[in-house]
Structure 1
């Protein structure tokens, strides 16, 4: 329901941009780290003979693959001006902290300056933001469906046999409502029909 999925060409462009930036990094710091915000037993498949071994993970839309340094950098926004170190009138303990912040910021500014010409363009950022908006709309559609069905929502895609026909009728009504509200052309309708997860 969360449409559209990013095009392969867009994914490849983002990957290329990242590898351009990697050229400037210390190789020991570019190991990919998975940052996951939806870890629970239904999303992780373990080896039944060796419980410490993960054999598969599902529900990948909540997975973010990033380098570990990407989570530990000072937020400088778009300000790439050189930081100023001012340690006058402060004690030794504060001086250490101010000096560390200065060096962290200086390194971040230098890094951003090196990769400035290789990062995403304004147009590419706008395209990504458009994808995010589409994802948000997809979540709204999902919530509309859940609200309409209330406690009859087929959790994990399972519908009780006795409720099947009634639920399919309701889902069809929801589908028509979504198509009327969101879809503007035949191409959109075709894509939606293809990805609609219910047989109605």
Structure 2
């Protein structure tokens, strides 16, 4: 469970509120055996549904796998194909609660094509940096970030507490700088050689998650 891209640990008050709400939504939907993705807004009146879908959460199966020390894609396939003989899903809640984890997301304020990326090494050196989810690269097309489709890059960061996590997340964001040209501008770096890798990455991101095998970080 995440709030503002930070995992909500089981002892935090929001966890039971949203977990109970999600359980009721899924029971009402009739879904019985599938991964699901649910978004809601919690205010003074309680949770309010934004969306729910019978699928894995989009973007980064590696992050979900790391939280519980399981292969989330393998677990999903086992549930989809279960004939009643599968063992119950074993989630590692101790590891989930052991530290604050979350995804740091890069935002942009313009439309363009990336011609230079700075600060990746500095970002990776921030304490608690776990791994890149999506590495920004020369040739990437960026847009003004107004929703998740406009996220320029993202990385996994862990910390011992919430305050430290926000500090480390801010340090990662501050380290990464993207120089981009607006449509119509020309730059010698924007050759076929630099655009080709970005095109390949875009095609790979378009594949269904069921054909992506997450690689777990070491810690």
Name which structure has the greater RCO, CA cutoff 8 Å, separation 6+.
1
Q: Same fold (TM over 0.5)?
A: no
Bigger Rg, structure 1 or 2: 1
TM-score (norm 1): 0.24
TM-score (norm 2): 0.23
User: Greater share of helix residues, 1 or 2?
Assistant: 1
User: Greater share of strand residues, 1 or 2?
Assistant: 2
